Structures are given as structure tokens and as C-alpha cells.
Amino acid sequence: MSARFVPYLGAFAATALLTLAGCGGGKPTGATCPTGSTLTYTNFGQNFMGTYCLRCHNEALTGSARQDAPADKNFNTLDGIIKEEKDIDEQAGASDTVTNTEMPPDGEKPSVDDRKKLAEWLACGAPQ
Ligand code: HEC
């Protein structure tokens, strides 16, 4: 391989690392709130977060138990979710055009259908 390709390889490696870290990889889903949406915290959001997010993003966890989840991103309350609505959409939401899979980084993953429900619920203002 000719030496002038080497800098390009470096750029590819950097991009791959950023993608692996999950930082800034997501896109807004552009989801909208359909008339008659029935999703609520009680019938959807709480269970979604409990299944896929709270083993890291939980106020009750400290230190290494958080598995590096940022201290200010906690989804064990509806307020904590609403505060990060936009970021959550970009990390875990889906629509007909965008599917974000940065979160959760490991373990059991939500289906695309559940990711779409998440984005819809957030687009509706995350009703209780
Ligand atoms: C195994 C632990 C773990 C789980 C489970 C997890 N996260 Fe994370 N999350 C992290 C870590 C570590 C970071 C910080 C590094 C990063 O952004 O990749 C993070 C960062 C974030 C951020 C901030 C991203 C940014 O760019 O500022 C959001 C929003 C987020 N997670 C949402 C979620 C959602 C929603 C779920 C559930 C669907 C979830 N996470 C599940 C570990 C986790």
C-alpha cells in the first residue's frame, strides 16, 4: 500500500472509535406525535427504561455500578427522562427513516418497534 493512504486509515480508525464509544453517533428521529397516541409513562416509558436503561442510568447507582453512565443522566423518574428527551431520542429512538442503536451499549436490546414507540412517546411530550 502506498504511504499516502495511511492518513486516511487514521481518520477511519478515529471514526470507528467514536462510533464504538457511542458518543454523538445518533440522529434526531424526527418522530411526531400522532393524533390519538396512547403511550404513557405508566403503560410504556417506565417499563422501557426499567428493561433497557436503569441498570446504568439510575440515581440509586453510584461509582462503578453506573458502568460509566454520566452522573446527570438518570431515567428512574419521569422528570429525569423529560430533561434528556432530545438526547434519549438521538441515542435510542427510531422512526421510519432513522434507527438509533447507540443505547443500550450492551445486553438486551429493544426491538425497532419499541424504539419507534419510545420516539413517539417522547415526541408527545412523555405523558404520565
Ligand atoms: C451498560 C450501561 C448502559 C445502559 C444499559 C444504557 N446506557 Fe446510556 N450511557 C452509558 C454510558 C457509559 C454513557 C456515556 C458514554 C456514551 O455516551 O456512550 C451513556 C450515555 C447516554 C446518553 C448521553 C449521550 C450523550 O451523547 O450525551 C444518553 C441520552 C443515554 N445514555 C441514554 C440511554 C438510554 C435511553 C438507555 C436505554 C435504552 C441507555 N442509555 C442504556 C451506559 C449505559
List, for residues 27-42, the tens digit of each pLDDT value: 999 999 999 999 999 9
Ligand 1 binding pocket mutation candidate from 49, 101, 103, 122 (most atoms within 8 A of CB)? 103
Ligand 1 site residues (CB inside 6 A) read: 21-24, 52-53, 55-57, 67-70, 73, 84, 87-88, 91-92, 103-106
Residue with cell 418497534: 113
Residue 96 is predicted with a pLDDT of 97
Distance CA 92, CA 90 (A): 6
Rounded Cα distance, 56 and 107, in Å: 11
Q: What is the pLDDT of residues 30-82, one digit of tens each?
A: 999 999 999 999 999 999 999 999 999 999 999 999 999 999 999 999 999 99
The phi and psi torsions of 111 (rounded to 5 degrees) equal: -70, 160
Grid cell locating 50: 426499567
pLDDT in tens, 68-121: 999 999 999 999 999 999 999 999 999 999 999 999 999 999 999 999 999 999
Rounded distance from Cα 119 to ligand 1 centre (Å): 16
